Structure 1
Amino acid sequence: MPDSFQSQPTMAQANLLGSFPKSVRSRIFRGIASACLLTAGVAIACEPLAAQSFSLPSNSVARGPSTSPGNTPDSNSQGFAPRTPAPNAANTPPSLQTPPSSGNRGSATNALPSSGAASGQLSAGGQLPREAGQEHRVYNLSPYTGYLTKHDRPHQAVVDWIVRETGTDVWHTEPFGFMSADRDELKVYHTNEMHQVIAGIVERFVAGDKEPQVMNLRLMTVSNPNWRSNAHMLMQHVNVQSPGLQAWLLTKENAALVMNTLRSRTDVREVHAVDLIMNNGQTEKLASTRGRNYVLNVKPSPAHWPPYEPETGEIQEGFQIEVSPLLSVDGRTLDCVIKADIDQVDKFVPVELDLPLPNNQVHRTKIEVPQLVSWRLHERFRWPSDMVLLLSCGVVASPERNQSMVPLLNLSSITGTTAGRSDALMFVEFRGRASDNLTTTPLVPQIGTRVSAPNRGRY
């Protein structure tokens, strides 16, 4: 027996044992000896395990309340408290490690720790990169936006024109740069060369004319494009990028001659003539659309008679034009972004359907498939402000569908066809300040009533 398990009885214990009979004392001594031998065997068996220095797995639990100060066991833990992970948890076998939580990733308590690549790394001590000599400059926009009290976001026009001038790639590729604007300031971080371009655009807003300007738009259609033969020598051709588009510059005197020549033709129709009152750099819209209904589908009738009922659809037909002009500081040059969308239903193609009936007969009906003709223009032009820009969309879908004076004689409603093709012409003329163009007819912007898509598509 090891010495650690040997002990001498005290005087009180000896006196107590002496009071028992001899046979009883011998039984007590034999029981004590057996207990000591069992305890010694357990201690000897545990010595090799202690030498291996294995730490407990991190998901092990210890019975009883936690011994850390201020920590009270949970009432639902039933006496079990989680044991803190061991410092050398890397030696824990994988089968004993705590698996990752599969709870809601959106929860802050169950979210998995993200890697450095996904969460982003703090580079250069949190400083902005300057490998290309970038500079942070703040431009004051209040001299321009202070006049536009009725506009919700007048500074957005400054951002739009900067992106039109610089393109979008310079803000999403190297060298690093950013741009942010509010009603009072424009904050830009980029190279010195880029700041020179931005300063020129901002100057056209803050140092240009603050008064409302007048842009005259005149939209006409010509059935035959041979009007060019008489007007060719009066026009100066301009190169454009949009396919099928032609553009010319005319003096105001020549523009009046061309317009009078067109009005003398029988195949010319003036669709719209309007003066748009616009602030420098802002965007105004001119729209004329109407819906055309058609049979989109046939579905079973909930009343069971008639057995089937038509489901109708609607297509918006007409044109939408957006104009955004920007004057130079001296007012001699005009940059203008013109966006036009023309949609026309050429005809509705009927499709016959044979639908079954409960009495084994066939119900014959038809649906309609629209045949659309559309045309798109999105171009930026620059010309002297004392000249007139003339655009020809080519022989495309007519922006306006002719209506019969007598509704009963409107054959298009019977045949499902429209007026065909025409050469759409647009005259764009800058007329200066609104205060210098006093007329008896109020000059108001023409805004389309159709709800546009969420995507602005500015660029």
Structure 2
Amino acid sequence: MTPRAIRRGIVAMAVACAGMSAIDASPVSAQALGLPGNMAAPPAVAAAPNSLPANNALPANPSPPAARNVQAPETPPSMQRAAMQSGSQGSSLPNDAGQRKRDWDLRPYTGYLRNHDRPEQAVIDWILRETGTDAWFTSPLGFLNASRDKLSVYHTDEMHEVVAGIVDRFVAGEKDPQLLSLKVMTVGNPNWRSRAHLLMQHVAVDSPGVQAWLLSKENAALVMNILRQRTDTRQVQSLDLVTYNGQTQKLASTRGRNYVRNVKPASTGWPPYEPETGEIQEGYRLEISPLLTVDRTALDCVIKAEIDQVDKLKPVELDLPLPDGTAYRTKIDVPQVVSWRLHERFRWPSDMVLLLSCGVIASPERPQAAVPLLNLEMITGTTAGRADALMFIEYRGRASDNLTTTPLVPQISQGVVAPNRGRY
């Protein structure tokens, strides 16, 4: 090959290489799918060295794939109607029976009871005792709400009059501590009535087995003297109870009575079985809530009393197996409990004395016989553990006008707190 031919070949090869470089340097056109407006676009990606040739490049404006059409779930027709009704009524309450809302200021009463927890609860309790609970849970619509400062009531005008009468007894009534004289006695034989019958005025009572009488203070002293002359009379409790108007006071006098309720295998040693003991609280628990009228001429009082007594423990013999095939004899106790309940509301003039007889029931205080083998029941007509329980309740006015010494502090019941449904 001549030098001239060689030069021509070199020039041709240079031209060919220049053309291929131009093809590789040409950019590849591409378009990403559109992003939502609140998202940033991804960074651009540089073209790879082995980019596609021009005839395989992506189209300049490719059409994005069709987006999925997701529909929201359809609202049920019932919810649509409820939303329309709530939107049309707004915050208005039905007043088809002429209901209206009224507020009372409770600060004239609660301001004196700074050391009491939720003193406004007494106002609610007495309103429900006067109106009953059904009036607030049936038609027509009404509600009752109280804070320490204010009582709010939504109901008819007739109900507002009843509520106003109760609230006035708290707000315009007595604010000072009041004194109640409370005496609980037991009489072995109910024949004390034969001498005291003409001194007492009978009062109707709804609780079965309960009798009530009203006595003047002079006649109450005579009846008390008649009872104290008897040998089967025992005074269980006598105290001056200091309470605020409408508030509830709780008294309790209980003691535990142990018994063997079960037998279980012993962990070690002899005997092979050990007793499992239980305890029954016997005695009495009393709740009393007095509410005076504004002029202090009458007294409403809610009395709740509970008496429990273990009449006897009945033994039951058990034969339990031993590893050697013999039997181990032991026993458990089955308690026979006598209980009595009273939940009643009374109203009487404040210058008289209320006397309650619970009938011949389980005695609040079990008498301890000096000689257990000596049975005097046939002679005295009494039954061990049974007595006619009597309660004298007397209103004595303001505590500051009557007490010269510190009053007795009653024992407060510490039982399990029950729900409020049975309160009234």
> What residue is the counterpart of 2:415 in the other structure?
451
Distance 1:447 1:114, change over 3 A: farther
Unmatched 5+ residue regions in structure 1? 1-63, 73-82, 91-112, 413-417
> What residue is the counterpart of 1:26 in the other structure?
none
Aligned with 1:364 (options 329, 337, 343):
329
Unmatched 5+ residue regions in structure 2? 1-31, 41-66, 375-382
Provide the alpha-carbon RMSD of the alignment: 2.7
| Equivalent-residue separation in structure 1 for 2:355 and 2:38 (angstroms) | 84
| Equivalences for residues 49-448 of structure 1 within 5 A | 67-70=35-38, 86-87=70-71, 116=79, 122=86, 124-404=89-369, 419-440=384-405, 442-448=406-412
Task: Give 2:221's aligned amino acid.
Answer: A
8 Å CA contact 1:284–1:447 kept in 2: the answer is no
> What residue is the counterpart of 2:8 in the other structure?
none
| Equivalent-residue separation in structure 2 for 1:332 and 1:314 (angstroms) | 46
SS at match of 2:290: strand
Distance 1:126 1:353, change over 3 A: same
| Equivalent-residue separation in structure 1 for 2:72 and 2:295 (angstroms) | 76
8 Å CA contact 1:398–1:422 kept in 2: the answer is yes
> What residue is the counterpart of 1:54 in the other structure?
none
Render the CA deviation track for 1:372-418: whole Å, top value 9, x for unaligned.
1000000000000000000000011001111356xxx6679xxxxx9
Indicate the structure whose relative CO is greater, using CA pairs within 8 Å and at least 6 residues apart: 2
| Equivalent-residue separation in structure 2 for 1:114 and 1:266 (angstroms) | 81
Distance 1:124 1:224, change over 3 A: same
SS at match of 1:126: coil
What is the CA-CA distance between 1:115 and the residue it aligns to? 7.2
SS at match of 1:133: coil
| Equivalent-residue separation in structure 1 for 2:177 and 2:72 (angstroms) | 75
What is the CA-CA distance between 1:133 and the residue it aligns to? 0.7
Distance 1:411 1:143, change over 3 A: farther
What is the CA-CA distance between 1:209 and the residue it aligns to? 1.2
SS at match of 1:364: strand
8 Å CA contact 2:251–2:413 kept in 1: the answer is no
8 Å CA contact 2:285–2:413 kept in 1: the answer is no
| Equivalent-residue separation in structure 2 for 1:65 and 1:276 (angstroms) | 87
Render the CA deviation track for 1:317-348: whole Å, top value 9, x for unaligned.
00011110000000000000000000000001
Distance 1:88 1:434, change over 3 A: closer
8 Å CA contact 2:253–2:411 kept in 1: the answer is no
Q: Normalised by the size of structure 2, how large is the TM-score? A: 0.79
Number of positions where the alignment pairs a residue of Structure 1 with one of Structure 2: 356
